[in-house]
Structure 1
């Protein structure tokens, strides 16, 4: 009996990107730029908001181009402890334990 093959479609296996960058980062930077423009209501704030938006979008696209899962990896890295005490590797030869073994 032959194994049944099931095709994996690209649409169900893509990274969650929006406008070429990470979805949450792009949308949050757009929200910040929008809040800056409409809270200040000045021409300088509009240019600053647009500059912030396009700069953040460019940075998010570069990040997604290098690694689409960069944000979750960074957040997991931030959750790790700041300091791990020194531990030996599993390949270390423990001479004291070897001396106790019966021969």
Structure 2
């Protein structure tokens, strides 16, 4: 008896993107730009806020295009950064200068 294959539909398995970028990052960048524009209420602040918004949206779209889950990978990388175990093997051939380094 053969195994039954079940197709996985794209609509039920999509990444959570908003405007082409990661949903939380895009909305947080929009919130920051909005807060800058309406708290300062100046033309320069409006221009800086719009440039910030457009640059952040461009960066987040590039990031999502490379890997839609890159934010989670980066968070995991930051969490594990203090602990990177040694990956040496007993078959490594050390030179004499490397051996003297640890005496």
TM-score by length of 1: 0.78
Count of paired positions: 91
Residue 81 to residue 64, structure 1, CA distance change in 2 (3 Å): closer
How well do the aligned residues superpose, as a CA RMSD in angstroms?
Answer: 1.7
Distance 2:14 2:72 in 1: 15
- Counterpart residue number, 2:55: 55
- Counterpart residue number, 2:21: 21
TM-score by length of 2: 0.78
Distance 1:40 1:34 in 2: 10
Distance 1:41 1:32 in 2: 14
Q: Which ranges of structure 2 fall in alignment gaps of 5 or more residues?
A: 92-103
Q: Which ranges of structure 1 fall in alignment gaps of 5 or more residues?
A: 94-103
**Structure number with larger C-alpha Rg:** 1
